Amino acid sequence: MLGLTKRDFSLLIVVAILALAAPFILNPFPEGSGMAQFNGGYPDLMQRLVIFGIFAIGFNILFGLTGYLSFGHAAFLGVGSYAAIWMMKLLTMNVIPAILVSVIVAGAFSLLVGWISLRRSGIYFSILTLAFAQMSYALAYSVLTPITGGETGLQPKLADPRILDSASTDGRTPSANLFGLDMKASTDLHIGDWVFTFNAGYYLAAIIMLVAFYLSIRIFRSPFGMMLRAVKSNQNRMNYTGLNSKPYTLAAFVISGMYAGLAGGLLVAMDTQVGAERMFWTASGEVVLMTILGGAGTLIGPVLGAGFIKYMENIVSKINESVLEQWFSFLPDGLTDFMVALVYPFVGKGWHLTLGLLFMLVVIFLPGGLVEGGQRIAKLFRRESADPKSSDTPAE
């Protein structure tokens, strides 16, 4: 089906169900309950889950298949975002041209960066990509301010020409749309004490993520993907056989950069404001964490890693002292204060500490990431179901 094996098609269906049913899955607790703090089914978070999932899927094509570790992929995310916002300022607020141009521009920029950076490998390649990203950030922040908006960034304005859009009749800047469908349009479904939000922008991003995920499966299973695995396994031996690995690694770098540009364009489609901070080195480090945490070289791992980190960033970071005091209010006063003081450094502004500890545990005990953890659990259940102890078996 769709050129996929039965197993890969089943995986695609699982990802599609998770993406399309996200408003239900991410809102397991009723509104007003003490556990509603952990609900993540609101549009902004759901959009970020799938958009950064695309970013991580693309990064995994480079890092997971070839082993080339880039510390500069945020540059392509930022370039794609700037290309998209300029399309909205000059042409139309329709998101389709913005997304297409973001992919093309990011691909062209990644071709230039990759052509230079891939002349080296290992840590030297990583440092070169980091240098390009930081140069791009510096240019966007303080040099190319007429194009990038500098410190304040860019956003659509009423005075922008927008050649294909008609003049605004109400004096307000039009919002991003898909042939008239506002990307911020949402519908709430009330079932008992639960509220489920269905957002137009999220479902557009989710559908594009599913297409990106499908393409990544085809790349992984193609002869091209096998060549990339050969590069990761032993590039020197591959070169000794007379095969030139450079075109393959460059193609992987460009495809990865185009995925990052697509994510940047979608970020603008969901929130029409762009700043240089998207190109900072910490954004590049974040996608590395997503991929390794989920499982580098696996298909679904980067999506899981992106979802896990973005969930923690948006949910765990909101837990403050007052929330903790409510949680531990059933304890005696002295013990309540002690538990709040004990837990508070790991939540709220200290959520990075929790993420760091979890990342250390995953790297030490689950080198294959969250995917390996799931495989171990599944193997454990299969082993138990395959070797049930008979009740009439005599004890030895």
Contacts of 290 (CB under 8 A, 6+ apart): 52, 55, 56, 59, 302, 305, 306, 308, 309
Contacts of 224 (CB under 8 A, 6+ apart): 248, 251
- Quote the pLDDT of residue 389: 56
For 6, other C-beta atoms within 10 Å of its C-beta total 8
- Quote the pLDDT of residue 396: 39
- Quote the pLDDT of residue 319: 87
Q: Nearest 5°: CA angle at 148, between 176 and 212?
A: 50
Contacts of 238 (CB under 8 A, 6+ apart): 230, 231, 245
Cα–Cα distances (Å) from 255 to 216, 227, 294, 339, 342, in that order, read 10, 15, 20, 48, 45
- Report residue 360 as tokens: 């250390």
Consecutive H or E run containing 154:
none
Cα–Cα distances (Å) from 228 to 117, 237, 241, 244, 248, in that order, read 17, 13, 15, 12, 7
Q: Give the phi and the psi of residue 65 in degrees, each rounded to 5.
A: -95, -45
Q: Amino acid identity of 339?
A: M
- Quote the pLDDT of residue 269: 93
Distance CA 55, CA 290 (A): 9
Cα–Cα distances (Å) from 131 to 63, 113, 345, in that order, read 18, 10, 33
Q: Are 298 and 369 in contact (CB under 8 A)?
A: yes
How far does Cα 278 stand from its chain's mean position? 13
Instruction: Name the nearest CA neighbour of 206 among 72, 91, 46.
Output: 46
Contacts of 280 (CB under 8 A, 6+ apart): 74, 133, 137
Distance CA 391, CA 396 (A): 13
Q: 3-class DSSP state for residue 273?
A: coil
Across the chain, which has 396 residues, the per-10-residue mean pLDDT values are: 89 94 92 83 93 96 94 95 95 95 97 94 93 94 91 89 80 86 93 92 96 96 93 85 90 97 95 89 92 93 93 89 86 88 89 90 88 88 69 44
Domains and CATH numbers, the chain: 6-314 (1.10.3470), 319-387 (no CATH)
- Report residue 327 as tokens: 């949680």
**Crossing angle for the helix pair 369-386 and 351-365, to the nearest 10 degrees:** 50
